[in-house]
Amino acid sequence: MTPDTRPDLLDLAPDEALTTLREWFDARGEPRYRAAQVFGRLWQRPVRGFDDITELPKPLREALAEAFRISSLELATRQQSRDGTEKFLFRLHDGQFIETVAIPDGDRMTFCISSQAGCALQCAFCATGAMGFQRNLTPAEIAGQVRELRLLDPPILPTNIVFMGMGEPLMNWKAVSPSLSLLNDARALGIGARHITISTVGVLPGIEALAARPEQFRLAISIHAPSDALRRTLMPVNVKYPLVDVIAAARTFDRRVTFEYVMLGGVNDQPAHAAELAQLARDCRAFVNLIPLHPGGAMGFTPTPTEDITRFAAAVRARGVEVAVRRSRGLDIAAACGQLRTERLGRRAPVAAETDRDVHVA
């Protein structure tokens, strides 16, 4: 089969897509407004293919389809939890699978999206880390998760986006950066920057790149252990990016940072840990989010009992730090990151995990 060489319009950030389309229409002697017309049908009022852009004359639709493509993600599984959380498993063109979770909460609808197929970082408590790294996603595959849910009947529209699905987003900055533009730009998906959160283990070049963007995107840092000694045992990435440097980066980030802290029974949930965590949070005025471990979500770990989480939160709060305990959602559908894919496919051998540890900062 000959490879499809047509550029995927969904891979281009808004300005680039509009320029590409304008040049194409110019070359054909067509009016320029056509470019905005086509672009509007990629993200705002999405269509599956050019043939569905019925406001364009048929010959023009056919010519567009010869020059470009509009990719799609194949929905492999859709599961709904009793609490309304929905989980989607998408099959990519090369057989990889990624997950997206839609979490309703009052008038909010948060999408938890993936940035890589698998993950190289192997955090000890994470199902995605256990399956190994497969590959980076493209912008079309990252922002495309949101597009696919908009294309459902009835559509699901997000108010908030969190990059907390599969993968470490700042290890794939080259694709995450244009994806942020697609999510945020009013001409594309139009989600406010303050409603888009990038969650990282603390990949420093990526944090710098995110800080350099003018939009007010939010940063969440997965701390999970308040000392280097403990964090190294849970998160191998701590060797490359130690806590002290991560905290320094959080301090210089010009917006308020959130610390994510998963509660692991008997591991990181003792009173001394609460005191250390509060100190780190105060150092950079961070907000602390305590995350109950999903039962069955991590081999070899047990969830901290609810009353101990409450006590831990009180100890952090007593030291002048704002703290919240995240509600577990989708417990009956294995909605913790990587769980559904692992259940369905089993584990795959990691591919190029070593070679792809580099941070791709555009």
Catalytic residues: 99, 337
156: exposed, middle or buried (Cβ count in 10 Å: 0-12, 13-18, 19+)? middle
Q: Which of 12, 13, 126, 246 binds ligand SF4 (CB under 6 A)?
A: 126
Q: Which residues pair with 163 in a beta bridge?
A: 198
Rounded distance, CA 235 to CA 336, Å?
17
Using an 8 Å Cβ cutoff, are 73 and 148 in contact? Answer: yes
Of 38, 119, 149, 176, the residue at the interface with ligand SF4 (CB under 6 A) is 119
CB of 128 to ligand SF4, least distance (A): 4
Both tokens assigned to 73: 């993600």
If one asks whether residue 129 binds ligand SF4 (CB under 6 A), the answer comes out as yes
Q: Tell me which residues in 310-349 interact with ligand SF4 (CB under 6 A).
A: 337
152 phi, psi to nearest 5 deg: -70, 160
Nearer to ligand SF4, 14 or 350 (CB): 350
- The contact mask relative to ligand SF4 for 281-300 (x = CB under 6 A, - = no) is --------------------
Name which of 123 and 189 has its Cβ closer to ligand SF4. 123
Closest CA to 286 of 262, 322, 310, 244: 322
- Structure tokens belonging to residue 86: 């929905």
For residue 168, state whether it binds ligand SF4 (rule: CB under 6 A). Answer: yes
The residue at minimum Cβ distance from ligand SF4 is 129
And the tokens for 72?
A: 């799609």
Q: Where are the beta strands (DSSP E) in 16-163?
A: 74-80, 86-91, 97-105, 108-112, 116-118, 133-136, 160-163
- Under rule CB under 6 A, how many of the chain's residues touch ligand SF4? 12
| Pairwise CA distance, residues 327 & 349, whole Å | 33
Tell me whether residue 67 or residue 359 sits nearer to ligand SF4 (CB atom). 359
Only one of the segments 68-76, 100-108, 120-128, 249-257 lies at the binding site for ligand SF4 (rule: CB under 6 A); that segment is 120-128
CA distance 336 to 316: 25
Residue span 211-240 as binding mask against ligand SF4, x where in contact by CB under 6 A, dash where not: ------------------------------
- Which H or E run includes 20? helix 14-27
Which helix (H) or strand (E) segment holds residue 247: the answer is helix 243-252
**Chosen residue from 167, 292, 297, 350 binding ligand SF4 by CB under 6 A:** 167
Regarding 122 and contact with ligand SF4 (CB under 6 A), the answer is yes
Question: In angstroms, what is the minimal distance from the CB of 291 to ligand SF4?
Answer: 11
Q: For ligand SF4, which is the closer residue by CB, 14 or 165?
A: 165
Binding site for ligand SF4 (CB under 6 A): 119, 121-123, 126, 128-129, 166-168, 201, 337
